[in-house]
Amino acid sequence: MKSGSSSGAEDWSSRARPRATRTPPSRAHHGDRDRGPLPALGKGLWTTELEARCSRARHVHSLKDMPTTLPRGACCCVPAREDSRDVVVFSRAHADAGRYKTLRDLPEGSVVGTSSVRRAAQLKRFYPGLVFRDVRGNIDTRLRKCDEEGYDAIILAAAGLLRLDFGARIAQYLDSNTEGGGLLHAVGQGGLGLEVRADDEEMKGMLKAIEDTPTMMACFAERSVMRTLEGGCSVPIGVETAWVEEEEGGEKKKKLQLRAVVVSLDGQKAVDGERTQEVNSLAEAEALGKELAQKLAREGAQQILDDINKGRDSGAAVKVGDV
């Protein structure tokens, strides 16, 4: 799990096994030590080293950092999810002066910080006049950089800010309904993945106390989109899920609504899709994600991803500043 995003995990582990002793592993993983552009570092930045030890222990990951295919012999439990949306944080100078309330208020040429090509590409689609610049570090480091290093705003996940009591810094939430253009979040964003050995029946039984089935099904659908499109943190794939009620045959049924988008790095090309259907199992959730991903691929998403993968070999697709 990324440094600075552990709040909540300890509460859930205490509920699952109140008298257990929990020993947090070192937080300095490859993704924390390497200061290169995040998309260039590959998948599993914060999880691979922990997974290597999963034969001896159990681990908690930020779900959006977990590879969509788990290692052989491992399984995953997902508790209730924090807010999955991305948010806008303005520099302290702008916030104190009350200059801006939304991204739409920023003048052309304003500098927006993010280490995610997913965020930068989607926002470039709606706000072509903004300038995107890489920003790295844990949450308090990014907030400090926003205030002191020439950024007008930065984009962060709501979940991390809320878990660490930085919610007061949030100026705007971004989603598919944001006026002027918003963001679809990363796969699994806001969720925690509790990875255990598949043969550890005792631990699997305890995790049932904190497992949240609606959250798991939504996240499995999102992860299926990513897996089918063979994407990762280096490609602009966004998703959004919601449980909705639809009337069918004179009665209301709860269905899973799944949205997804694939955007070119410059924001000039995009393929959006949405599918809503009744989902009653993890297998059905994964099938929903796969079907939507295949639809996107047929409608042009595959070409966008192929172009990005070609550019990756030359390093052209790995820097937010190039978007």
Write out pLDDT tens, residues 143-166. Answer: 999 999 999 999 999 999 999 999
Q: How large is the average pLDDT for residues 94-119? A: 96
CA–CA dist 273, 308 (Å, integer): 20
Domain with CATH 3.40.190.10 in the chain: 1-75+194-211, 86-174
Crossing angle (nearest 10°) for helices 282-296 and 213-229: 30
- Catalogue the active-site residues: 65
Choose among 313, 288, 150: nearest CA to 221: 288
CB neighbours of residue 22 within 10 Å: 11
Residue 222 pLDDT > 60, yes or no? yes
Q: How large is the average pLDDT for residues 277-289? A: 97
CB neighbours of residue 129 within 10 Å: 10
Q: What is the pLDDT of residue 317?
A: 42
Instruction: Give residues with Cβ within 8 angstroms of 258, minimum separation 6.
Output: 218, 221, 222, 225, 239, 240, 241, 274, 275, 276, 288, 289, 292
Q: How large is the average pLDDT for residues 60-82? A: 83
Q: Please, which pLDDT band fits residue 5 given cuts at 50, 70 and 90?
A: very low
Give the residue, 141 or 46, on which the prediction is more confident: 141
* SS3 call for 185: strand
Domain with CATH 3.30.160.40 in the chain: 213-323
pTM of the model: 0.81
C-beta of residue 270 within 8 angstroms of C-beta of residue 262: yes
Backbone angles phi, psi at 99, to 5 degrees: -70, -40
Sheet with 74-77, side-by-side order of all strands:
59-62, 192-197, 74-77
Q: What is the pLDDT of residue 110?
A: 98
Tokens linked to 9: 């995990």
CA–CA dist 200, 17 (Å, integer): 14
Give strand ranges (E) for the chain: 59-62, 74-77, 86-90, 111-113, 131-133, 153-157, 172-174, 192-197, 237-248, 251-263, 270-277
Residue 241 pLDDT > 70, yes or no? yes
Instruction: Give residues with Cβ within 8 angstroms of 26, minimum separation 6.
Output: none
Q: What is the pLDDT of residue 266?
A: 94
CA R_g for the chain: 19
Q: Name the H helices within 164-212.
A: 201-207
Q: Tokens 């491992």: give the residue.
A: 74
* Average pLDDT taken over every residue of the chain: 84
* CATH code given to domain 86-174: 3.40.190.10
Instruction: Give residues with Cβ within 8 angstroms of 125, minimum separation 6.
Output: 181, 263, 267, 268, 270
Backbone angles phi, psi at 170, to 5 degrees: -75, 125
How many percent of the chain have pLDDT more than 90? 60
* 15-19, 48-52, 139-143: least confidently modelled range: 48-52
Give the residue, 38 or 230, on which the prediction is more confident: 230
* CATH code given to domain 213-323: 3.30.160.40
Q: What is the pLDDT of residue 28?
A: 52
Q: What is the pLDDT of residue 234?
A: 66
CATH class of residue range 1-75+194-211: alpha beta
Q: How far is CA 45 from CA 21, 26, 164, 298, in A?
A: 27, 14, 22, 30
Q: What is the pLDDT of residue 100?
A: 97
**pLDDT tens digits for 21-35?**
555 555 554 555 555
